[in-house]
């Protein structure tokens, strides 16, 4: 580096140091977007909220709530498209998908969560073995969409 380059660099740093407050007004530094996941779920009926909120309130960890919200929203969207699915198959499908997605990270973590989920399924499908009707699949979808909404809000 030559003496001239050093001198110019020194003068530039002095000028920046003296006039930084005025120079910084002209420099626009973009603020980063907040890292917030936005999930669009329409608010369900108050009846569905009353059924699903107690189960959703069992989940305390913010990250678990987000993951469960996404998982249940996808389940709710897909369940209406299953053809000739039986009640037990629906339950098995949910459990297997949850095991594949969460592994054992939620097992035993939240007291009452498993029985709460069972209650949501039983509330729609009952306890008898049968093939789900379109109405039951639609109600199951509404229930788990409501559950996802409660987890997200």
pLDDT at 6 over 80: yes
pLDDT at 34: 67
pLDDT at 39: 80
- For residue 117, being part of any structural domain is answered with yes
- For residue 55, being part of any structural domain is answered with yes
Cα 136 from Cα 124, distance rounded (Å): 6
**Domain range for 125:** 46-152
- For residue 91, being part of any structural domain is answered with yes
- For residue 58, being part of any structural domain is answered with yes
Average pLDDT of span 90-115:
90
- For residue 35, being part of any structural domain is answered with no
Structural domains of the chain, count:
1
Torsion angle of the four alpha carbons 117, 120, 124, 128, in this order, in degrees rounded to the nearest 10? 50
pLDDT at 27: 75
- For residue 52, being part of any structural domain is answered with yes
Cα 92 from Cα 98, distance rounded (Å): 10
pLDDT digit string, tens, across residues 88-99: 999 999 999 999
In percent, the amount of the chain with pLDDT more than 70 equals 97
- For residue 73, being part of any structural domain is answered with yes
- For residue 20, being part of any structural domain is answered with no
């Amino acid at each position: 580096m030559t003496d001239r380059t050093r001198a110019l660099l020194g003068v530039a740093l002095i000028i920046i140091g003296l006039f930084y407050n005025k120079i910084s007004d002209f420099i626009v530094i973009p603020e980063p977007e907040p890292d917030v996941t936005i999930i669009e779920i329409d608010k369900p009926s108050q009846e569905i909220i009353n059924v699903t909120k107690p189960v959703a309130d069992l989940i305390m960890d913010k990250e678990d709530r987000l993951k469960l919200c996404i998982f249940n929203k996808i389940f709710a969207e897909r369940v209406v498209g299953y053809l000739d699915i039986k009640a037990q198959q629906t339950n098995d499908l949910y459990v297997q998908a949850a095991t594949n997605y969460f592994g054992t990270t939620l097992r035993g973590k939240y007291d009452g969560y498993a029985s709460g989920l069972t209650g949501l399924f039983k509330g729609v499908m009952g306890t008898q073995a049968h093939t789900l009707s379109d109405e039951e699949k639609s109600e199951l979808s509404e229930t788990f969409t409501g559950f996802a909404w409660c987890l997200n809000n």
